[in-house]
Each structure stands twice: as structure tokens, then as C-alpha cells.
Amino acid sequence: MKLKCERQEGIAMVEMAIVLPVLLLILFAIAEFGIAFAKYQVITNASGAGARAAALFRSGCTKPAMLSAAQSAAVKFAGPLISASELTPTLVGDCDTETISVTVGVAEPFPVLSSLTGSNRTLNLFQTSTEFNLNALTKNAGTSND
């Protein structure tokens, strides 16, 4: 026994109305996570640049001067993708420690996913880079007792 369905004019529109929101959600989630991954790559390189700038700081070595050099290098390297007000570089170490660590962080909001869940969703991205401190190594090289 065959069933005849004579009227199927609106079935494609109904299927599209069911599938389209799910496809758009997936598309916007991919875009938001792609932007977050790009920012993570930027802060990875910015933390490395900040650690190098702090470790190579030679004249008048003070911790505030090292922090300032690390912050300006990180902000300069971040470029147009991340603004200077978003970055939060921190410095661990000073002129006498053998290693300098710079941690750069940024909070990445997810506007589409936040609007769907009704809460403010952010992903905190952090990256730490460590470099040898040339100031401390050159001081210690002259005083070693080999």
C-alpha cells in the first residue's frame, strides 16, 4: 500500500529552520576558538620577547626597569590583535637571579556562546617564557672559583 503525500512544498524550509541554528552555532564556535588560538600564539611570542628584553637589559639594572622593558617588548610584539590594555605581563626574577620568567596573560571573551548561555564566558590565556639572565651570569662568571 502506497501512501501519497501530495503536498511537500514547505518541507525544505522546515528542515532548514531546524538545521540552520545548529550549523550557525558550530560556525561561530569555530570562529571564536580560532580567534582565541590566534591570541594564544601571539601571547606565546610576546612572552618570549618580553623575557628576552628583560634578560638582555644591561645598563642600570633594576627590577622596575626590567619589568618596563619586558612590558614594552610584549606590547610591541602583540601588535594589532591584542591591545596594550588587554595584556598583563608579569616578571619573576631580578638582576641577580640566573633566570628571568615573564608571564603574559589576556582574557578572551566568547560573545556568541555567552549570549546563548546567559552568562559572561571568558577564557584566560596565559603563557610563561624563561630566559637566562645575562646580567647575573656575567657577574657570576667573574667571581667563580674553578
Domain presence at residue 5? no
pLDDT reported for residue 105: 86
What 3-state DSSP class applies to 91? strand
What residues contact 81, with CB distance under 8 A and at least 6 apart? Answer: 38, 39, 42
Q: State the residue range of the domain holding 60.
A: 11-142
Q: What is the mean pLDDT of residues 112-128?
A: 77
The mean predicted confidence, pLDDT, of the chain is 80
Q: Give the model confidence (pLDDT) of 40-59 as tens digits.
A: 888 888 888 888 888 886 66
Domain presence at residue 44? yes
pLDDT reported for residue 3: 65
Domain presence at residue 45? yes
pLDDT reported for residue 145: 52
| Choice between 143 and 20, residue whose per-residue pLDDT is larger | 20
User: How many domains are there within the chain?
Assistant: 1
Domain presence at residue 3? no
Residue 20 has pLDDT above 90, yes or no: yes
